[in-house]
Amino acid sequence: MMKTDKKGRIHDHCVLVLNRNWQAISIISPADAFSHMASGNADGLDIHGEEKLTPVGWPKWLELEVRDEDLAIGTARGQVRAPTVIILKRYAKVPVFKPKLGLKSLWLRDKGICQYSGKQLKFSEASVDHVIPSSRGGETSWENCVLADRLLNSQKSDRTPAEAGLKLRRPPYEPKAIPVTLTLRNTLGIKEWNFFLVKIAA
């Protein structure tokens, strides 16, 4: 049965964007994808199985059959298939991603491990610790913040690790910027995206 746009999915982020070298660089909405295609900046990718991936320009895209598995967007000319992947015609770069300092980013950098006890934490157990406490002039920076067990961090309070009898597993550091492609995840389970996204081991 055709998936019609009953819940306003035209504005959901469910379209993977590739640069002209077919590298994944972002995820956008069908509305934005249609805008790129209608202006001639991108082609939609007509995907049939694993062997046939055909870039299709806007005029021809409007004539494509809307298959049962497709999301259909209602337009003035009737139902139009929403692409799952588009390819930019001129843009060739891969933007880089530089994480912002915060609990989630520290969780990723420190792999969910308390940097004092070595305990593998649940996210709810984790907190940000200033190695040199803020009250002692410590900065909120990558080089002075680590992931720490919430209870242990409370016990450390405004002391340095040495004063609290603790030792860091490794010196904190600022993560390197990485290609944005490596940050994109197929959380929606769109099978066509799997051709272009890096598979992360569980």
Digit-by-digit pLDDT tens for the chain (202 residues) are 445 554 468 899 999 999 999 999 999 999 999 999 999 999 999 998 767 899 999 999 999 999 998 999 987 778 999 999 999 999 999 999 999 999 999 998 999 999 999 999 999 999 999 999 999 999 999 999 999 999 999 999 999 999 999 999 999 999 999 899 988 999 999 999 999 997 654 3
Per-residue confidence (pLDDT) for residue 48, from 0 to 100: 84
What is the pTM assigned to this prediction? 0.71
Per-residue confidence (pLDDT) for residue 183, from 0 to 100: 86
Per-residue confidence (pLDDT) for residue 130, from 0 to 100: 98
Domains annotated on the chain, with CATH:
3-96+179-195 (no CATH), 103-156 (1.10.30.50)
**How many Cβ atoms sit within 10 Å of the Cβ of residue 92?**
11
DSSP letter string, 20-64: TTS-EEEEE-HHHHHHHHHTTSEEEEEEETTTEEEEE-HHHHTTS
Per-residue confidence (pLDDT) for residue 4, from 0 to 100: 52
Token pair, residue 58, equals: 């806007």
C-beta separation of 86 from 33 below 8 A: yes
Per-residue confidence (pLDDT) for residue 3, from 0 to 100: 55
